[in-house]
């Protein structure tokens, strides 16, 4: 196949791509609504991307154990696919328990010296890593689009966002303060020290192949921990490229290890090892519960970022334009494949029809296609199972009275492309209101009063992302306080940033990632009491 060359100059000269802000919304909306001149130059094919990455040394296929790239010990490999074409990109090492145990040992050995480095030294390593991630932003973004499918501009947004966690951790490393507590007795002195928790097992999903890793590994390393990363076997290439850049940044061997392949075996080894003192996981609620139960055996510290069922509440008094733009971003980011994507759009009866029509018109304008093609706002879903889930939920809803007002079927492009969909007349009994669709479907529910909206929104075991659209300051405070969610966007559809705490209430998880709060997840608190102070 003839391969049009990727326009590197176009990337380099773009002010948009160089913008420092890691808040994603403006960039995302631009990409969803108006293809810029830049995107018109973006058409490339997967083969040329893979060969460019190969020549730059960023296309890695082996795991990283103790600073050495390694095949699976039994030589097994698995394929990584491009979801936009169904073609295999490359074969990677398919590792399991033995490789994981060696990675844990390497991390344990490296911990002895890494945990003794000064905060300033760790900060410099992290800063270097951040700089390299930014230098290689374009290639890393291409890798994300290649293995995950999201539009290239969204991938570039993810690099800014993901690298931002490393930059933030580099800064925050120097602010891990302890305390001096006023002593109850005059001959005592009481101190609180914060110390690294130890070796961390980081298990990450496919929907953000870089950002879900960096928001775990950045703070872990800043605190003095070492890590064994298990990226999703669907999207390991970005993780491996980031690990390669950690080596180039001079981060010592064994501090960052990566094993991938046989997920249950790797997970079991991480859970069983008494040397692993912390598990951090982003993924499904079902797997999170298993990891939490398994961690009890060795009493590990656990952070979990699990599934959501995000309500997006549009009140009669909302600005229609703001509500539509915000909902579009909250729902269709990454083709609906994020834990904070709006899963239920709960609209007050007075604005319902107007909002439904305006949302349908906006969604209709979104171009679906290969993430490397110009103007594309929606890529493919990650795999066939993801499409089947969307189909099942839509079928269940329509069989119970919901109406498809846009889309509602596989896209003519084939593979795992699905038409951006809006369905109306959804109610809380339908499966689509109770399960995370993780796809490009916007289900509209109707409500009468503010109390109804809060009740419907909180009627779920999940509690991660939520959104409110209203022009009333009083209502925005009242509803934000009443929502049983870890994140609330008010008149804003994309609120993720490395400087704010990300995490859920109820069964959406434990702990927080990002911000100063995310650092605590990798620290032990040690109390030291100094006695007999008055004795000469």
Active centre residues (catalytic): 305, 339
Alpha-helical runs (H) found in 273-383: 285-295, 320-332, 352-364
Contact between 422 and ligand SIN by CB under 6 A: the answer reads no
CB of 42 to ligand SIN, least distance (A): 23
- Nearest residue to ligand SIN, scored by beta-carbon proximity: 496
Helix (H) / strand (E) element for 446: namely strand 441-447
Q: Report the residue from 328, 329, 340, 442 that binds ligand SIN according to the rule CB under 6 A.
A: 340
Contact between 339 and ligand SIN by CB under 6 A: the answer reads yes
* Number of CB atoms found within 10 A of residue 4's CB: 12
Point out which span in 66-74, 85-93, 334-342, 438-446 binds ligand SIN (CB under 6 A). 334-342
Contact between 25 and ligand SIN by CB under 6 A: the answer reads no
Are the beta carbons of 373 and 342 closer than 8 angstroms? no
Contact between 332 and ligand SIN by CB under 6 A: the answer reads no
Contact between 345 and ligand SIN by CB under 6 A: the answer reads no
Q: Report the residue from 11, 125, 208, 315 that binds ligand SIN according to the rule CB under 6 A.
A: 208
Q: Report the residue from 204, 285, 338, 373 that binds ligand SIN according to the rule CB under 6 A.
A: 338
Task: Measure the CA–CA gap between 241 and 226, rounded to whole angstroms.
Answer: 18
Q: Which residues contact 468 (CB under 8 A, 6 or more apart)?
A: 313, 315, 475, 476, 479, 480, 483, 488, 489, 490, 491
The 3-state secondary structure of 376-428 reads CCECCCCCHHHHHHHHHHHHHHHHCCCEEEECCCECCCCCCCECCEEEEEECC
Are the beta carbons of 194 and 178 closer than 8 angstroms? yes
Contact between 305 and ligand SIN by CB under 6 A: the answer reads yes
Contact between 330 and ligand SIN by CB under 6 A: the answer reads no
Task: Measure the CA–CA gap between 302 and 186, rounded to whole angstroms.
Answer: 38
Contact between 52 and ligand SIN by CB under 6 A: the answer reads no
CB of 220 to ligand SIN, least distance (A): 17
Dihedral pair phi/psi, residue 134, rounded to 5°: -75, -40
Q: Which of 245, 213, 255 is nearest to 230 (CA)?
A: 213
Site string for ligand SIN, 497-516 (x = CB under 6 A): -----x--------------
Task: Measure the CA–CA gap between 304 and 323, rounded to whole angstroms.
Answer: 30
Task: Measure the CA–CA gap between 371 and 328, rounded to whole angstroms.
Answer: 18
Point out which span in 89-97, 174-182, 203-211, 425-433 binds ligand SIN (CB under 6 A). 203-211
Point out which span in 93-101, 204-212, 244-252, 361-369 binds ligand SIN (CB under 6 A). 204-212
CB of 351 to ligand SIN, least distance (A): 27
Contact between 154 and ligand SIN by CB under 6 A: the answer reads no
Q: Which of 165, 89, 181 is nearest to 127 (CA)?
A: 165
CB of 496 to ligand SIN, least distance (A): 3
Q: List contacts with ligand SIN (CB under 6 A).
A: 207-208, 211, 282, 305, 338-340, 496, 502
């Amino acid at each position: 196949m003839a391969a049009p060359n990727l326009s590197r100059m176009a990337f380099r000269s773009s002010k948009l791509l160089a913008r420092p802000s890691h808040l994603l919304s403006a960039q995302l909306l631009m990409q969803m609504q108006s293809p810029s001149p830049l995107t018109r130059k973006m058409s490339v094919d997967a083969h040329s991307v893979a060969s460019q990455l190969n020549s730059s040394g960023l296309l890695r296929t082996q795991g990283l154990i103790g600073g050495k790239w390694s095949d699976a010990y039994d030589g097994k490999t698995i394929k990584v696919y491009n979801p936009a074409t169904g073609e295999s990109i490359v074969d990677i090492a398919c590792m399991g328990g033995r490789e994981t145990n060696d990675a844990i040992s390497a991390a344990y050995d490296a911990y002895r010296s890494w945990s003794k480095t000064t905060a300033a030294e760790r900060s410099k390593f992290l800063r270097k890593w951040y700089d390299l991630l930014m230098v290689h932003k374009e290639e890393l973004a291409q890798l994300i689009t290649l293995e995950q499918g999201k539009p290239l501009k969204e991938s570039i947004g993810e690099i800014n966002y993901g690298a931002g966690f490393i930059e933030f951790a580099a800064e925050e490393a120097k602010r891990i303060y302890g305390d001096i507590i006023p002593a109850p007795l005059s001959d005592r002195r009481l101190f609180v020290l914060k110390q690294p928790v130890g070796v961390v097992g980081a298990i990450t999903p496919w929907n953000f192949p870089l950002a879900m890793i960096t928001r775990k590994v950045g703070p872990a390393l800043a605190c003095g921990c070492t890590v064994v990363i298990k990226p999703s076997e669907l999207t390991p290439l970005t993780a491996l490229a980031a690990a390669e850049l950690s080596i180039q940044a001079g981060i010592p061997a064994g501090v960052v290890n990566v094993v991938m392949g046989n997920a249950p075996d790797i997970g079991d080894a991480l859970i069983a090892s008494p040397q692993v003192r912390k598990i951090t996981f982003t993924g499904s609620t079902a797997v999170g519960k298993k990891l939490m139960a398994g961690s009890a055996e060795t009493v590990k510290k656990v952070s979990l970022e699990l599934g959501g069922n995000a309500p997006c509440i549009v009140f009669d008094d909302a600005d229609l334009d703001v509500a539509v733009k915000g909902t579009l971003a909250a729902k269709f980011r990454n083709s609906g494949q994020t834990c904070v994507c709006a899963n239920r759009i709960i609209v007050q009866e007075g604005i319902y029809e107007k909002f439904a029509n305006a949302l349908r018109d906006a969604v209709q304008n979104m171009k679906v296609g290969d993430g490397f093609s110009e103007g594309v706002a929606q890529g493919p879903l990650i795999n066939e199972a993801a499409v089947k889930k969307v189909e099942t939920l839509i079928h269940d809803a329509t069989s119970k009275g919901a109406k498809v007002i846009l889309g509602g079927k596989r896209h003519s492009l084939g593979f795992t492309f699905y038409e951006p969909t809006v369905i109306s007349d959804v109610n809380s009994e339908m499966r689509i209101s109770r399960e995370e669709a993780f796809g490009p479907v916007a289900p509209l529910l109707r409500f009468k009063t503010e109390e109804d909206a809060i009740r419907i929104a909180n009627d779920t075991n999940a509690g991660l992302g939520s959104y409110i659209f209203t022009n009333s300051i009083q209502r925005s405070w009242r509803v934000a306080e009443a929502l049983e969610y870890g994140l609330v966007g008010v008149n804003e559809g994309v609120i993720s940033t490395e400087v704010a705490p990300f995490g859920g209430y109820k069964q959406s998880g434990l702990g927080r990632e990002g911000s100063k709060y995310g650092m605590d997840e990798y620290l032990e608190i040690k109390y030291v009491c100094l006695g007999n102070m008055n004795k000469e």
